[in-house]
Amino acid sequence: MTHDAAVLKAREIASRVLAPSAGQNDKAGRFSTEALESLGESGLLGLMLPGEAGGSGLGPRTFAAVTAMLAEADASVAMVYLMHILGTATISAARPSAAPTVTPILREIAAGRHLSTLAFSEAGSRSHFWTPMSRAHRNGDGVRVSAKKSWVTSAGHAQSYIVSSLAPEGVGPTDSTLYLVLASTRGLSVSGPWDGLGLRANASAPIALEECEVPSNFQLSDDGAGFQTMLNVVLPLFNLGTAAVALGLCRAAVTGTSSHLKSARFEHLGQSLGESLPTLRAQLAAMQIDTDGLAARIDDLVEHLEKPRETTMLRVPETKAAAGDVAISVTSAAMRICGGAAFSKHLSIERLFRDAHAGAVMAPTGDVLREFIGKVLLGMPLF
C-alpha cells in the first residue's frame, strides 16, 4: 500500500462508516465495532508494520494523514486507531527473545484481526505514566502483575494491552518494564464504565490486573527498560497522532461552521449569516488560519521524525502542546460563531468541542509538555 492509497482508504472509511454514525455513537457512548472491522479489512491496522510482518511499512507521514482523516469524521475512532498504532509499534520493537510470541501477533494485526492499545496510566501516579505504582513480581521465569490502570482506550475491545509496571528488581521510580498482556489473561478485567465528556465512543475505561501471570516471552522490553521504549518509540508517535486528531477536529469545525454560515439565514434581512455578518467571517478566517498553522506544524514534526536532528526533542513536545490549545480554541470559536444552534446540539460542533478537550489532558498533558520544553531551554534535567 502506498501513502496515497492509505489516505484514500481512510477517506472512504471515514465517509462510508464513521461519519454516518459518529453522532449516534457519541450519544450512546458506543464503541464502533464496524469502524474497526473496516479498518482491519483495509489493511490500515498494519500501516506501520514492516513488510516481513505483513504490514505496509509506511511511516509517520502516512500515519498522521490517516489519523487526521479519521478524526475529521469521528475523533473517538481516530483515538482508538492511534492507540492501536502505538501498541503495535511497541510490540514491533520487542526484544528478540519475545519473537515467538510477537511474530504471530504482528501477523494477526496485519491481517486486521487484532487490536492493541496502551495501559500505562495508573490511579496512583495519575498523568505521570512514566512512574508506575505497580510492581511486577517474579513468577518462575515470568512475572505476576497486579495494577490499577485508570484509563485505557479500547478497554474491553482490544485483543491485547501493553502494560507498564515497575521491574521486579527496579530501584528508581522510572525503572519500568513493558509486557504484552492478552485480553484473555486470567485476572484482567474492565473495572469501571467510560462516560467521558468527549471521545465518548472510544471505551477509555479503567482496567484492573489482579495477579495476572505473564510468561517471559510476553515481556517486550528488557527489565527496567520500559521507560526508554516509552520515550523513544511511544512518545514521538503519540504526540504526532494526538496532533493529527486535533487537526481533524479543527478541519471538521471549519467545515461545519462554514456550512452553518451558508445555510442559516436572517429571513428578515434576506441574507445568510455569513453574508450578513463580517464579524463571523473574520472569526471563521481566524479558525482557518489556526487550522492551517497546525497542519504546517504537523508537517514539520513529520520531517523531524523522518530526519531526526537536534531540534526534534523540542518539536515532539511542542507539537502536542500547541495542538491541544489550537483544537480547544478553534472548536470554541466554532461554538461561539454557530451560536444557539451549536449550544442546543442542532449541529455536530458541540461534539467536536467536547472531543477537542481530551488532547490537552491526555498524558503527557499540555502543562507537562510546557514544563519539559522550559527545562530543555534552560538545560535542566527532565526527570
In the complex, minimum distance from the CB of residue 364 to ligand FAD, in angstroms, rounded to a whole number = 8
Angle at the Cα of 45 from the Cα atoms of 40 and 51, rounded to 5 degrees: 115
Options 28-36, 40-48, 310-318, 359-367: segment touching ligand FAD (CB under 6 A): 359-367
R_g of the chain, CA atoms, integer Å: 21
Q: Which of 127, 174, 189, 283 binds ligand FAD (CB under 6 A)?
A: 127
Closer Cβ to ligand FAD, 7 or 363, answer by number? 363
Closer Cβ to ligand FAD, 1 or 361, answer by number? 361
In this structure, the number of other CB atoms found within 10 A of the CB of residue 4 comes to 10
Instruction: Specify the DSSP element, H or E, that contains 369.
Output: helix 366-377
Instruction: Specify the DSSP element, H or E, that contains 318.
Output: helix 312-337
Q: Which of 56, 90, 153, 165 binds ligand FAD (CB under 6 A)?
A: 153
Does residue 367 interact with ligand FAD by CB under 6 A? yes
Q: Which residues pair with 117 in a beta bridge?
A: 161
Grid cell 467536547 is found at 354
Does residue 362 interact with ligand FAD by CB under 6 A? yes
Q: Which amino acid is at 355?
A: D
Does residue 31 interact with ligand FAD by CB under 6 A? no
Does residue 361 interact with ligand FAD by CB under 6 A? yes
Closer Cβ to ligand FAD, 39 or 284, answer by number? 39
In the complex, minimum distance from the CB of residue 28 to ligand FAD, in angstroms, rounded to a whole number = 16
**Phi, psi for residue 235 in degrees, rounded to 5:** -55, -50
Of 362, 361, 357, the closest CA to residue 253 belongs to 357
Options 7-15, 146-154, 264-272, 309-317: segment touching ligand FAD (CB under 6 A): 146-154
Which three cell numbers mark 77? 475512532
Does residue 199 interact with ligand FAD by CB under 6 A? yes
Of 128, 127, 181, 117, the closest CA to residue 153 belongs to 117
Does residue 134 interact with ligand FAD by CB under 6 A? no
User: For residues 165-184, which are near ligand FAD according to CB under 6 A?
Assistant: none
Instruction: Specify the DSSP element, H or E, that contains 217.
Output: none
Closer Cβ to ligand FAD, 62 or 117, answer by number? 117
In this structure, the number of other CB atoms found within 10 A of the CB of residue 246 comes to 34
b/e 130-148 (16+ beta carbons within 10 angstroms → b): bbbebbbeebeebbbbebb
> What is the rounded distance in angstroms from the CA atom of residue 170 to the CA atom of residue 182?
24
Q: Which of 126, 138, 262, 346 binds ligand FAD (CB under 6 A)?
A: 126
Q: Which of 119, 158, 180, 316 binds ligand FAD (CB under 6 A)?
A: 119
Closer Cβ to ligand FAD, 199 or 254, answer by number? 199
Q: Residues in the site for ligand FAD, rule: CB under 6 A?
A: 83, 117-121, 126-127, 129, 151-153, 196, 199, 204, 358, 361-363, 365, 367-368, 371
